[in-house]
Amino acid sequence: MFHRLDFSHERDLTIEDLVKRFQAYNPDKDVTMLRKAFLYAEKAHKGQMRSSGEEYIIHPMNVAGTLIKLRMDEESVISGFLHDVVEDCDITPEEIEEEFSPAIASIVVGLTKISKINFKTKEESQAENFRKMVVAMAQDLRVIIVKLADRMHNMRTLQYVSDVKQKKIAQETLDIYVPLASRLGINSVKGELEDLCLRFLKPEIYYRLAEKVAMKKSDRDGYIKDTLDVIKDKLLEYSLQAEIKGRPKHFYSIYKKM
């Protein structure tokens, strides 16, 4: 059975939550540097607020949380905490390298370069050029994965910016970042971003689909499991061996098929 990862915005996320989740798949890993990265980002972003009215540190914590859900390595998660400190705070790449490592500094610098690209995604050929530019700037593929986690959380909190900005960011995400997630095979991120783009680009369609697919995710998963069991029983009646899988479809996928 396919299980969708939950990338919801976590307003009350703590460093202890993140450490516990990281240790779930790295039980023998020393988490000293993770804690250090959180404290470093918290100090760097002190006094900064997001459009939602929340303290800015909530954003890098959610980015790090997404990377942990994707079971990324320690350097990626640390880069998630630090991804905005060079761009938004008075921090230099040399300081990141000295406090953490050259690899982490390189990832943060790559993310800063990508954030400075002025995306204009009106034509597909132009979007392809921007995708190539992003890949070229990201000498380490982890730069793109951290950027996808960053974009995921920004899309999750997009309702706090103007309608014009919502549509611009959503279109940019659909043109640039969804194809990158697809090419990297991160289907959970691809599907989530597509649904969020649909929500802001075509809200009337998104909410109409949401109304028609009113069943809770747990209920839909249960329905799929029951259906799989029926199919398995029927196949066994005819001595047929088969592997059967099922999953709830994303709204964007339903929209495209319609």
**Active-site residue numbers?**
87-88
> Is 228 exposed, middle or buried (CB count within 10 Å of its CB: 0-12, 13-18, 19+)?
middle
Closest CA to 75 of 144, 146, 152: 146
Question: Which secondary structure element, helix H or strand E, spans residue 205, and what is its range?
Answer: helix 203-212
In sequence order, what are the beta bridge partners of 111? Answer: none
**Residues 156, 215 contacting (CB under 8 angstroms):** no
Coil vs helix vs strand at 16: helix
CA distance 22 to 65: 9
Closest CA to 11 of 215, 195, 213, 160: 160
Contacts of 117 (CB under 8 A, 6+ apart): 130, 133, 134, 137
What are the two backbone dihedrals, phi and then psi, of residue 55, each rounded to the nearest 5 degrees? Answer: -65, 140
